[in-house]
């Protein structure tokens, strides 16, 4: 015998109410240093799997110097970043995670 649609809905609602995945974090509860980026600052939004290119909250993409790609593999979406000059002509930008302190040299790779 097939359960009625309302019984299935009631069961699903009960499971969601009991499970932690159905509850959101209250907005006033801090979730770590990346939860609240600095006002007007950049935030890490994603990367290629090899860490060779990253995307930032200002919708820019950056090619990462191969020697620094491993640093970006530990960055998490939402992590605040600081942009500075590297002093290197081929990789003019130094992008630093404010959460971990890791820096990667980069150059512009377009927009998304």
Q: Is residue 5 part of a domain?
A: no
Q: Is residue 50 part of a domain?
A: yes
Cβ–Cβ under 8 Å, residues 51 and 66: no
Number of domains comprising the chain: 1
In this prediction, residue 27 carries a pLDDT of 37
> Where does residue 38 rank: exposed (0-12), middle (13-18), buried (19+ CB within 10 A)?
exposed
Q: Is residue 61 part of a domain?
A: yes
DSSP string over the chain = -PPPHHHHHHHHHHHHHHSGGG-PPPTTS---GGGSPPTT-EEEEEE-TTSSEEEETTSEEEEEPGGGHHHHTT--TT-EEEEEE-S-SSS-EEEEETTT--EEEEEEEEE-
pLDDT tens for the chain, 112 residues: list them: 555 554 444 444 444 444 443 333 333 333 444 444 455 589 999 999 999 999 999 999 999 999 999 999 999 999 999 999 999 999 999 999 999 999 999 999 999 8
The domain in which residue 101 lies consists of 31-111
Q: Is residue 95 part of a domain?
A: yes
Please state the pTM of the whole predicted model.
0.65
Q: Is residue 2 part of a domain?
A: no
Q: Is residue 4 part of a domain?
A: no
Q: Is residue 107 part of a domain?
A: yes
């Amino acid at each position: 015998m097939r359960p009625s649609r309302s019984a299935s809905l009631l069961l699903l609602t009960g499971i969601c109410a009991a499970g932690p995945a159905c509850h959101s974090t209250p907005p006033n509860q801090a979730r770590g240093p990346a939860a609240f980026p600095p006002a007007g600052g950049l935030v890490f939004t994603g990367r290629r799997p090899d860490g060779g290119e990253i995307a930032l909250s200002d919708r820019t993409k950056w090619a990462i110097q191969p020697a620094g790609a491993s640093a970006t593999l530990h960055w998490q979406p939402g992590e605040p970043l600081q942009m500075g000059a590297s002093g290197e002509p081929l990789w003019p930008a130094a992008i630093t995670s404010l959460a971990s302190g890791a820096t990667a040299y980069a150059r512009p790779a377009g927009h998304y």
